[in-house]
Amino acid sequence: MAAHDTNKVDTVTGMSTTGHEWDGIQELNTPLPRWWLWLFYICIVWGIGYVIAYPAWPLVSSYTKGVLGYASRDQIETDMASLKVQRGDMVAKMESASLADIEKDPKMLEVARALGKAAFGTNCGPCHGQGAQGGPSYPNLNDDQWIWGGSLDQIYQTIQYGIRNENPESRQGPMPAFGKDGIIPKADIPIVAAYVVTLSGRKPEGNVDLAKGQKLFAENCASCHGDAGKGNPEVGAPNLTSNIWLYGGDEKTIIETVTNGRGGVMPVWAGRLEPATIKALAVYVHTLGGGQ
Amino acid sequence: MSSAEVPQAPHDDDIPLYEARKEIYPQAVHGRFRTAKWIILCITLGVYYFLPFVRWYRGPNAPDQAVLIDLPNRRFYFFFIEIWPQELYYVTGLLVLAALILFLMNAVAGRVWCGYLCPQTVWTDLFYAVERMIEGDRRERMQKAERGRWDLERIAEKILKHTIWLMIAWWTGGAWVLYFADAPTLVHELVTFQAPVVAYVWIAILTFTTYSLAGWMREQVCLYMCPWPRIQAALTDEYALNVMYRYDRGEPRMSAKKAEAARKADESAGDCVDCFQCVAVCPTGVDIRNGSQLGCIQCGLCIDACDNVMAKLGRPGGLIAYDTDDNAERREHHEEPVYRIIRARTVIYTVLIALVGAVMLYAFTSRNNVGISALHDRNPLFVKLADGAIRNAYTIRVTNKSLDTRPFRLEVIGLKEPKFDVIGVPQTGATSTLLEVGPDQTRELRVLVTLPKALIRDEKADVSFRLTDIVDGSSAIVRDHFFAPEGDYHSQQDGHHGQ
């Protein structure tokens, strides 16, 4: 900085310069309008007002609340309340309608499926998977095999009261631990397991006395799974003749199941979810594809 | 700042970083360009203020407002066109066209947009007209401002002026909200105070912006806030017509008498008499004689002012005119001026405009009233059923853009003997089903496609869904896949696979 002549004029542009010069480069004088400066001051005043009006400063264990008392949590609650009001008519309609009627009415079906999908993702997805695809020991709800029945009413009952829990209304009836409790001698378990494999049209490994297996099955298993192994939804005994296995259909897993028993549980949802939500869930699960 | 190294630095060497606003008092002017601006002002504001009231009958299931942005129902109506949210690319196309047209305007005749069409220019022009009507023309306003006396008359004038300004601004905001709802209904609701709060809020916002931008900010918007002057400076060239002072004819400036004497004595004399009329009428307060500049919005009012002066002096008009830098130079070298409208850039812009326009026209004329989209279930990708069959599930959304309830046929094609189910819709055919979709609506369907184990040919097969409008026969197809578990299908089928 050498020259400080404030009246210096740039010859090319004809504009006055600020008088500042760096290695021969001069700065043209292009001042901002004063109102721009005022905008800056207005922003500062606005900022101070904002800090007073709204939550702003973090304190050690809380924060300054602001004189307007605004909280984003309140806003969510307001939004949720207005959503509830918006859904009110449809929810009331669904509460009074029968499950079959909900499925027959295109508009109610659409709402029930949307509502059910959201509720499923939050409440059911952790075990059954977001797409109800299930997994080992958690049933796939898309297929057409139902342990406790796949009609609308059976699904509704299962969702309301769950499976093998303390609620007296819940589905009861575990698979006993035939091996561990000594009901079937340990040596016979592979024989009955081999017979179970043949029920679904497959060949067991090794050479086993299938006649003995059939006898063992009739004595121990048929009371729940049926003589032909077709299962019984009343007691939650799965169909053993199909391609679908909850815990695995290979011989080794079947031996394990017969030895130790099975007793998957599901919680009670009645009382935890709104009645209309449970209905929507039943319709959603029923319309995934496997409903009966 | 000052230190031992620069002892000569005076203590007041810093000039202010902010400058006070230079008040301008544009003078009224009459002439060709002023008339053109009045006509354009009437047309543009007329369209803006009255378009929401134009009716356009579409049928019983659609609004009858010619131009309507229906936000709650996500529709945009423009006369015979109805745009759905997923068709917003038409708007993108329009924006591209608008930008290209702006470029073309600039290549042909500079800032035509700024001078005649920009809302800032149009509303500011209207507000200046009000100001002139109440407070008088340039001279009177300057005198009143200089005198600074606040007598009753001046207070009354100010109150009247701001009231009219606010009324115009309020009407501007009022017209804006009418584009978003049925205009006559909303007007009735507004005057009976039944309208939604958001309508009043938007009216208030636009009243404020119109009043402050057109009444107070005026040329400051062009000088400091708008990016277009900066962009157009990069887009212009020496052949673009711009409002310019023909310095080759105007210089040297001298009074009319001196010029006459000089001409008699055969000495060189310019036509510019330094009357400053061009500066007095300028709405941004620039002196066009300094050449093209950022502040000049090229409205042509200085042309009118100068032509009027030249006519009084008996000299030919056009001392300030739409001309090119190139021509000024050519005249100085005693060459004929040339006007080159057809240049590389104008041709390129025109071709691009035609191209984008043609693509949009094609997209628009070939668009269908029927739409279908499919979303394959991701989790699970397929479901194994008890009998070993494989099922795939799809969420299919069908769209009926026509304005009446219509029957449609939805069918699955591309698979051999699939089982086809649509949840909640009674089956009407083996691989197809009939369903209804309401006017101007979409319907989401859960669709199940099942293949017996024996018919599965591949882990991933092509499948399509076709939606046919039973009424007019138009159809839409969406392609998807049918997935099956990993398996050795090829050897199982003994070479039957192959299509």
Dump pLDDT digits (tens) for A67-97: 998 999 999 999 999 999 998 899 999 999 9
Q: Give the integer Cα–Cα distance in Å for B116 and B138.
A: 22
pLDDT band at A7 (very low <50, low <70, confident <90, very high): low
List, in sequence order, the alpha helices (H) in B236-372: 247-250, 256-264, 277-281, 301-313, 325-332, 344-365
What is the value of ipTM here, to two decimals? 0.82
Q: Do B13 and A4 touch (CB under 8 A)?
A: yes
Contact, A176 vs A183, CB < 8 A?
yes
B289: left (phi over 0), alpha (psi -120 to 50) or beta: alpha
DSSP B70: E
DSSP B65: B
Neighbours of A83 (CB within 10 A): 10
Instruction: Determine the pLDDT at residue B498.
Output: 40
Instruction: Determine the pLDDT at residue B470.
Output: 93
Which pair of structure tokens corresponds to residue A41? 């001051």
Q: Do A4 and B443 touch (CB under 8 A)?
A: no
Q: B180 by DSSP, 3-state: which?
A: coil
Neighbours of B380 (CB within 10 A): 22
Question: Which of A9, A17, A26, A34 best tests the B interface by mutation, with the highest count of B CBs <10 A?
Answer: A34
Give the minimum alpha-carbon distance from B163 to chain A in angstroms, rounded to a whole number.
23
Q: What are phi and psi of B248, to 5 degrees?
A: -65, -25
Chain A residues close to B423, C-beta within 8 Å: 109, 287, 289
What is the full DSSP assignment across B418-460?
Answer: -EEEETTS---SSSEEEEEE-TTEEEEEEEEEEE-GGG---SE
Contact, B211 vs B167, CB < 8 A?
no
> Is the bond leading into B380 cis (omega within 30 degrees of zero)?
yes
Chain B residues close to A1, C-beta within 8 Å: 6
| Strand pairing class (B390-400; B441-451) | antiparallel
Question: Nearest by CB to A143, which of B377, B379, B385?
Answer: B385
Nearest-5° Cα angle at B326, B320 to B330: 90
Which residues of B sit within 8 Å Cβ distance of A? 6, 8-10, 13, 15-21, 220, 223-224, 290, 377-380, 383-388, 391, 393, 421, 423-425, 443-444, 446, 448
Give the minimum alpha-carbon distance from B448 to chain A in angstroms, rounded to a whole number.
7
Q: Do B424 and A129 touch (CB under 8 A)?
A: no
| CA distance readout (Å), A218 to A196, A200, B40, B48 | 11, 16, 96, 87
Q: What are phi and psi of A64, to 5 degrees?
A: -70, 130
Which pair of structure tokens corresponds to residue B460? 């991933």
| CA distance readout (Å), B327 to A12, B239, B249, B319 | 22, 8, 12, 13
DSSP B55: B
Question: Which of B2, B5, B11, B19 best tests the A interface by mutation, with the highest count of A CBs <10 A?
Answer: B19
Burial category of B421 from C-beta neighbours within 10 Å (exposed 0-12, middle 13-18, buried 19 and up): middle
Chain B residues close to A140, C-beta within 8 Å: 380, 383
Contact, B450 vs B390, CB < 8 A?
yes
**Is the model's pLDDT at A183 over the cut of 50?**
yes
| CA distance readout (Å), A38 to A33, A46, B209 | 9, 12, 17
Question: Which of B212, B384, B390, B396 best tests the A interface by mutation, with the highest count of A CBs <10 A?
Answer: B384
A1 close to B (CB below 8 A): yes
DSSP B314: T
The sign one gets for the Cα dihedral A155, A141, A281, A266 is positive
Nearest-5° Cα angle at B337, B334 to B343: 140
Which amino acid, one-letter code, is at B334? H
List B477's β-bridge partners, or say none: B466
Chain B residues close to A33, C-beta within 8 Å: 18-19, 21, 220, 223-224
Tokens 């008890």 appear where?
B386
Instruction: Determine the pLDDT at residue B8.
Output: 46
CB within 8 Å of chain B, chain A residues 227-246 = 239, 242-244
Give the minimum alpha-carbon distance from A59 to chain B in angstroms, rounded to a whole number.
36
Residue A37: partners with Cβ closer than 8 Å, 6 or more residues away: B18
Residue A292: partners with Cβ closer than 8 Å, 6 or more residues away: A144, A146, A149, A150, A151
How long is chain B?
499
Instruction: Determine the pLDDT at residue B3.
Output: 42
Can you give chain A as a three-state secondary structure string? CCCCCCCCECCCCCCEEEEEEECCEEEECCCEEHHHHHHHHHHHHHHHHHHHHCCCCECCCCECCCCCCCCHHHHHHHHHHHHHHHHHHHHHHHHHCCHHHHHHCHHHHHHHHHHHHHHHHHHHHHHHCCCCCCECCECCCCCCCCCCCCCHHHHHHHHHHCECCCCCCCECCCECCCCCCCCCCHHHHHHHHHHHHHHCCCCCCCCCCHHHHHHHHHHHCHHHHCCCCCCECCCCECCCCCCCCCCCCCHHHHHHHHHHCECCCECCCECCECHHHHHHHHHHHHCCCCCC
Instruction: Determine the pLDDT at residue A24.
Output: 83
Q: Give the integer Cα–Cα distance in Å for A144 and B384.
A: 9
Q: Give the integer Cα–Cα distance in Å for B271 and B260.
A: 10
Closest chain B residue to the Cα of A290, Cα to Cα? B385
Chain B residues close to A110, C-beta within 8 Å: 443-444
Which pair of structure tokens corresponds to residue A159? 């969702």
Q: Give the integer Cα–Cα distance in Å for B439 and A15.
A: 65
Question: Which of A15, A103, A243 best tests the B interface by mutation, with the highest count of B CBs <10 A?
Answer: A243
The tens-digit pLDDT sequence of chain B (499 residues) is 434 444 444 445 566 778 888 899 999 999 999 999 999 999 999 999 999 999 999 888 889 999 999 999 999 999 998 999 988 889 899 999 999 999 999 999 889 999 999 999 999 999 999 999 999 999 999 999 998 888 999 999 999 999 999 999 999 999 999 999 999 999 999 999 999 999 999 999 999 999 999 999 999 999 999 999 988 888 888 889 999 999 888 888 988 888 888 888 888 888 999 999 999 999 999 999 988 888 999 999 999 999 999 999 999 999 999 998 888 888 888 888 888 889 999 999 999 999 999 999 999 888 888 999 999 999 899 999 988 899 999 999 999 998 899 999 999 999 988 999 999 898 888 899 999 999 999 999 999 999 998 888 889 999 999 999 999 999 999 999 999 998 877 655 444 444 3
Closest C-alpha among B449, B453, B451 to residue B489: B453
Across chain A, mean pLDDT equals 91
Count Cβ–Cβ pairs < 8 Å, chain A vs chain B. 98
The sign one gets for the Cα dihedral A250, A251, A255, A256 is negative
A143 close to B (CB below 8 A): yes
Instruction: Determine the pLDDT at residue B427.
Output: 85
| Strand pairing class (A32-33; B18-19) | parallel
Give pTM, 2 decimals: 0.80
Give the minimum alpha-carbon distance from B461 to chain A in angstroms, rounded to a whole number.
20
Instruction: Determine the pLDDT at residue B496.
Output: 44
For residues A174-195, give the mean pLDDT: 93
Which amino acid, one-letter code, is at A25? I
Instruction: Determine the pLDDT at residue B491.
Output: 59
- Percentage of chain A surpassing pLDDT 70? 98
The sign one gets for the Cα dihedral B102, B103, B104, B105 is positive
For residues A40-50, give the mean pLDDT: 96
Closest chain B residue to the Cα of A130, Cα to Cα? B379
Chain B residues close to A106, C-beta within 8 Å: 424-425, 443
Neighbours of B35 (CB within 10 A): 11
Dump pLDDT digits (tens) for A198-251: 999 899 988 889 999 999 999 999 999 999 999 999 999 999 999 899 999 999
Dump pLDDT digits (tens) for A99-127: 999 999 988 999 999 999 999 999 999 99
Contact, A215 vs A273, CB < 8 A?
no
Q: Do B446 and A29 touch (CB under 8 A)?
A: no
Which amino acid, one-letter code, is at B403? L
Contact, B232 vs B110, CB < 8 A?
yes
A13 close to B (CB below 8 A): no
Instruction: Determine the pLDDT at residue B426.
Output: 87
Instruction: Determine the pLDDT at residue B14.
Output: 62
Which amino acid, one-letter code, is at A15? M
